[in-house]
């Protein structure tokens, strides 16, 4: 499972120039990354990130940080997209798959045509 690092932590640190901690680990990723593949196990973490983003957007609007509101809204949209990807994957996993078998009526007709050719 890939732990999803909160984009807020990195965004706020970059804005305030206070980030002096270690660089993000290889397994951590921003939800806005286009190559991030999420599994169904990450859904609780994504929901937690979404709730945090709503709180951060409210704080940024209250403080008048319009640039932060825009960036946080982009992250919120990406988080919603990731959650919808998980939902779509679950729906596909639980839906029946057509293997292309022809109906019985077509099989009987083909068998009769094959008998006529061999006789």
Q: What is the pLDDT of residues 29-87, one digit of tens each?
A: 688 888 888 888 899 999 999 999 999 999 999 999 888 999 999 999 999 999 999 99
Torsion on CA atoms 76, 38, 32, 53, rounded to nearest 10: 30
Question: Which residue pairs, CB below 8 angstroms and at least 24 apart, start in 13-22?
Answer: 15/68
- 31, 74 Cβ separation under 8 angstroms: no
CA 3 to chain CA mean position, Å: 13
Mean residue pLDDT across the chain = 76
Q: Which pLDDT value is given to residue 26?
A: 47
Q: Which residue ranges make up each domain of the chain?
A: 7-118
At residue 1, does pLDDT exceed 50?
A: no
Q: How far apart are CA 36 and CA 71, in angstroms?
A: 18
Across 88-102, average pLDDT: 81
Whole-model pTM above 0.75?
no
């Amino acid at each position: 499972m890939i732990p999803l690092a909160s984009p807020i932590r990195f965004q706020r640190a970059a804005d305030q120039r206070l980030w002096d901690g270690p660089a993000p680990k290889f397994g951590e990723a921003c939800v806005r990354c286009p190559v991030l593949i999420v599994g169904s196990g990450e859904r609780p973490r994504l929901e937690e990130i979404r709730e945090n983003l709503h709180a951060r957007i409210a704080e940024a609007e209250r403080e008048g940080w319009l640039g932060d509101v825009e960036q946080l809204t982009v992250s919120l949209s990406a988080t919603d997209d990731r959650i919808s990807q998980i939902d779509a994957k679950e729906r596909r996993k639980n839906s029946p798959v057509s293997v292309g078998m022809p109906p019985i009526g077509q099989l009987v007709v083909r068998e009769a045509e094959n008998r006529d050719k061999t006789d």
